[in-house]
Amino acid sequence: MKALVIDDSRLARNELKRLLKEFDAINICGEASDANEAKEKIEADKPELIFLDIQMPGKNGFELLEDLEVVPEVIFTTAYDQYALKAFEFNALDYLQKPIEKDRLAAAISKVIEKKEKLELADSNYLTPQDQVFVKDGERCWFVQLSDVRIFEVDGNYTKIYFQDQRPMIPRTLNYLESRLDPKAFFRANRQQIINLKWVERIEPWFSGSIRIYLKGDHEVDVSRRQTQRFKELMSI
């Protein structure tokens, strides 16, 4: 797992790097001494994990996270304990107080590894665009490769599936389908629709900071403001 060490103290960075050498799962890809340098390295190197000091010259650790479009997993490291509650408001995996003890560091890294393994297991259970599913609507049946499905859309108590020139309806909720579909390929645009990202043709700004997505095949989808931010995070590079 690629990790970046962020601390304005060179001695603190060196001590943490020394401790991390004992953990084979962690590969230190770099270090930074302030928020601006850290932002550049996070965007360039895309670490999966950052060890982040809070008190730094200029922007503090919390302000750095607010500046990022894509936030890695975070373990805060600080000499102060008054920031612990706020740290977990930022969904930090752990909060280590300096001087960092080896046992506490080991526990924090265990949380990182456990979360990564759970996500990998969940990903392995998703239906991907390469999967084929059986669809039945009344007397008609299809075997459909999910890459061919443009959109899933709520229709009363059913969900309508758009593929080729077909529009069958299945007795499944959109929430159920969202839990089964690979979120890297299928995106919940709003309360009514899930779209296949492969079919996105163009995107235009819409009302109040939201966007409208045009799919191949002349389908227009209005993305809610909340989901617009998630879409930007998902599609950022």
Cα–Cα distance for residue pair 130/132, rounded to 1 Å: 7
Cα–Cα distance for residue pair 48/173, rounded to 1 Å: 33
Classify residue 52 as exposed, middle or buried by CB count within 10 Å of its CB (0-12, 13-18, 19+): buried
Does 202 score more than 80 pLDDT?
yes
Cα–Cα distance for residue pair 192/147, rounded to 1 Å: 20
% of the chain at pLDDT higher than 90: 66
Cβ distance 2 to 49 under 8 Å?
yes
Cβ distance 160 to 152 under 8 Å?
yes
Cα–Cα distance for residue pair 101/81, rounded to 1 Å: 15
132-235, what's its fold? OB fold (Dihydrolipoamide Acetyltransferase, E2P) (2.40.50)
Q: Specify the higher pLDDT residue, 217 or 158.
A: 158
Q: Specify the higher pLDDT residue, 115 or 6.
A: 6
Domains of the chain by residue range: 2-124, 132-235
Q: pLDDT value at position 122?
A: 61
- Range 130-135 contact pairs with CB under 8 angstroms and sequence separation of 24 or more: 135/161, 135/168, 135/170
Does 179 score more than 90 pLDDT?
no
The predicted-structure confidence for 82-131, as pLDDT tens digits, reads as follows: 777 777 777 788 999 999 999 999 999 999 998 888 777 766 678 899 99
2-124, what's its fold? Rossmann fold (3.40.50)
3-state secondary structure of 158: strand
Does 237 score more than 60 pLDDT?
no
Secondary structure in 3-state letters for 33-80: CCHHHHHHHHHHHCCCEEEEECCCCCCCHHHHHHHCCCCCEEEEEECC
Does 236 score more than 80 pLDDT?
no
207: confidence class by pLDDT, cuts 50, 70, 90: confident
% of the chain at pLDDT higher than 70: 97
Q: pLDDT value at position 79?
A: 86
5: confidence class by pLDDT, cuts 50, 70, 90: very high
The predicted-structure confidence for 35-91, as pLDDT tens digits, reads as follows: 999 999 999 999 999 999 999 999 999 999 888 877 889 999 988 777 777 777 777
Does 155 score more than 80 pLDDT?
yes
Q: Nearest CA to 15 among 93, 77, 60?
A: 77
Does 184 score more than 80 pLDDT?
yes
Mean pLDDT within 155-165: 93
